[in-house]
Structure 1
Amino acid sequence: MLKRAFNKYIDNFRGFSREIWILTLITFINRAGTMVLPFLSKYLKEDLHFSYSQVGWIMVSFGCGSILGSWLGGKLSDKIGFYKIMIFSLLTSGFAFFGLQFITSFEGLIIAMFLIMTVADMFRPAMFVSLGAYAKPENRTRALTLVRLAINLGFAAGPALGGLLIMSVGYKGLFWVDGASCILAILIFWIKVKEKKKSKYTDKEHPGEVLTHSVFKDTPFWIFLTGTLITGILFFQLFTTIPLYHKEQFNLSEFQTGLLLTLNGVLVFFMEMPIVSYIEKHKINKLKVITYGCLAMAISIYLLLVNNWAGILIIMMIFMTFAEMFAFPFSNSFAMSRAPKGHEGRYMAIFTMSYSLAHILSAKTGMEIISLFSYQTNWFFMGTLGVIGVLLFIWTKKLVAKEPPRNL
């Protein structure tokens, strides 16, 4: 019985090309090393002693850089190819993270975070386009899920290791590990994966499908993006306000916060691929699944209104994890499916920019609400925002149902 269950789980991972597995490996190395992000707000608040408002502004510059980087990465992927963008982005940002630890002034960090994130987030749309080039069309959602699995497995290892690193050598160690992991990951990619010159995504002479309409006139896509923005705002509370709340409300250590984030990563590792395979196999409507994901995310934030029992943090994390597994892989897939062939970079740039904007709004809005009112007010506001997101996804589903059939 156990062997059959194990074999069924392993079957979900069959049929991927060598390049997809290497992309997955470098994503894992990069994400396991990304220890700065979950602790950035704590580093700024507790180590550099900035105010909530200053922390919010630095996170805004982080998000602005992310928006510009996502746009540049998508545009340049369509123009000069995803391969060059991926190598430039990770190699440069790796060295930049080494230098970031030496900048401690408020103004300096505003500029530095903007520049680093501009370069670092050029990687994301380029990586999404690379999945389109290296994965078979029928495997694309599963390939996206495999890479997300690597991201989450990396996040499972990263925060717990990061928490231990802070407690042993301090925050500075995070910057060295983060930079080194970026450089190691892209060197493996450079050596093991050759640039794909002739895929239907990079061959400009035979793009396959002509762009007949502007992305800016794709109304369902923009309503969907607004919902995606909301899921991003809620999810990024995990890396901005929630670690501070753990400490201030429940007096959790960095290691305990890291363990809660590790729970998220472990659940995703074991459950996301089977869930995605089941949904794909039974052809369940992707927008319906995304809607349920947004609803679970709203519930997870509302659960934080219970502030006198630490066990609620585990229940909240379980809800947030299922929300993430329902919402994110299918959001990626839906965005890619809207793009005419040869123009994936443009669509995926705008899609990833929605998460970058979410990072800005999540940090600044959350910090300001906490500063002016309380954590409780923030959780109520964010949960209600999630309900609005649910309504937007229902609206998108109705609009898409009226369109001529697409492969959604």
Structure 2
Amino acid sequence: MIQKAFQQYLNNFRGFSREIWILTLITFINRAGTMVLPFLSKYLHEDLHFTYAQVGTVMVFFGTGSMIGSWLGGKLSDTIGFYKIMIFSLLVSGLLFFVLQYVKTFEWLCVSILVLMVIADMFRPAMFVSLGAYAKPENRTRALTLVRLAINLGFAAGPAFGGLIIMGVGYQGLFWVDGITCIIAILIFWVTVKEKKKSTYLDKEHPGEVLIESVFKDKIYWIFLASTLLVGIMFFQLFTTVPIYHREQFQLTEFQTGLLLTLNGVLVFFLEMPLVSYIEKHHFNKLKVIIWGCLLMTISLFLLLVNTWAGILIIMMLFMTVAEMFSFPFSNSFAMSRAPKHQQGRYMAIFTMSYSLAHILSSKLGFTIIARFGYQANWFFMGFLGLTGTLLGIWALRLMQIEKLKK
């Protein structure tokens, strides 16, 4: 019985090309090494002694750089190709991580974070386009899910190990690990994967795709992006306000916070691929799955209103994890399914920009509300945003149903 279940689990990972597996490997290496970001707000507040307002401002520069980088990465992927963008982004951002540890003043840190994120986040839309180039049409969502699994497996190892590094040698050790892993990851990619000039990801030969003249005329896509933005604002609380809340409300150490984040990564690693395979096998509507993900994430934030029992943090993480498994792989897939041929980079750039904007708003809104009204007000406000995102998803779903009737 156990052997059969294990075999069925392994079957979910069959059918991928060699390039997809290499992309998955370098994503894992890169994500496992990205230890600075989950602890960035704590580093700024506790090590550099920045105020909440200053932390929020740095995070605005973080998100702004991410938005610019996402747009550039998508635009350039459509012109000079994803391959060159991926190599440039990881190599240079790896070197910049080495430099970042020596920047201590508020003004220069804002500038440095901005430049770093512009270069680092050029990688994301380029990587999405590369999946379109190297994945078989029937494996699109599963290929996205496989890469997400690598991200979450790295995410499971990274924060706990990062917490130990902080307790052992301090935050500086994280910058060295981040930089080295970026460079190692892209060298593996450069040596083992050859550039593919043409992406056959989406065209008229693959029925069911929506061909729109311009991304700016795709009303359904923009409503979907608005919902995605609100999901991102809620989710990024895990990396901005929640780690500090752990310490201030429940006196958790960095290692304990890392373990909670590790719980998220481990559950996603073991459950997301079977879940995605099951949903695809039974042809559930992707947008409906995304809507349920938004609702579950809303519940996870409302759970934090219980502030007298530390066990609620585990329950909250469980709800957040299931919400993440519903929301993110199918959001990526839905965004790519709306992109016409030769506009994949632009569609995915705007999609990744929505998360970058979410990072800006998540940190600034969260820290501003906490500074003025406290944590409880923040969790209530974030939950309200989640309910709004759920309603936007339902609106987009109804418009899609009308769109299908017109075909």
Residue correspondence of structure 1 range 8-407 to structure 2 within 5 A: 8-200=8-200, 212-404=212-404
Tell me: CA distance 1:405–1:116, structure 2 relative to 1, closer, same or farther (3 Å): farther
**When the two structures are superposed, what TM-score results if normalisation uses the length of structure 2?**
0.97
Aligned partners of 1:289, 1:80: CA distance in 2, in Å?
35
| Structure 1 unaligned spans of 5+ | none
Contact 2:70 2:124 in 1 (8 A): yes
CA displacement 1:137-175 (0-9 Å, x = unmatched): 110100000000000000100000000000000000000
Distance 1:198 1:258 in 2: 41
| Aligned-partner Cα distance in 1 for 2:199–2:159 | 37
Query: Are residues 210 and 160 of structure 1, via their aligned partners in 2, closer, same or farther at CA, if it must alter by over 3 Å?
Result: closer
C-alpha distance in 2, partners of 1:45/1:137? 46
Change (3 A) 1:81 1:177: same
1:23 deviation in Å? 0.1
Q: Distance in 2 between the 1:139 and 1:98 partners?
A: 37
CA distance in 2, matches of 1:207, 1:227: 27
Cα separation, partners in 2 of 1:213 and 1:202, compared to 1, 3 Å: closer
CA RMSD of aligned residues (A): 1.8
Contact 1:200 1:207 (8 Å CA) reproduced: no
2:202–2:341 contact (8 Å) kept in structure 1: no
Shift of 1:343: 1.0
**Structure 1 counterpart of 2:374, which letter?**
S
Q: In structure 2, what residue type is equivalent to 1:127?
A: M
CA-CA distance at 1:405 after TM superposition: 7.3
Alignment length (residue pairs)? 405
For 1:123 and 1:55, how far apart are their aligned partners in 2?
25
Alignment check: 8 A CA contact 1:294 1:327 kept: yes
SS in 2 for 1:402: helix
Distance 2:126 2:405 in 1: 28
Q: Note if contact 2:233-2:361 (Cα within 8 Å) is conserved in structure 1.
A: yes
Partners of 1:188 and 1:372 in 2: CA distance: 48
CA distance in 1, matches of 2:393, 2:211: 25
**SS in structure 2 opposite 1:305?**
coil
Moved over 6 A (4+): 206-211
User: Quick one: percent identity of the two aligned structures?
Assistant: 74
Counterpart Cα distance in 2 of 1:300 and 1:210: 33
| Structure 2 gap ranges (5+) | none
Alpha-carbon contact 1:207-1:342 (below 8 Å) kept: no
Cα deviation code 1:2-30 (max 9, x no counterpart): 00000000000000000000000000000
Check whether the contact 1:227–1:390 (CA below 8 A) recurs between aligned residues: yes
CA, structure 1 residues 244+108, in 2 after alignment: closer, same or farther (shift >3 Å)?
same
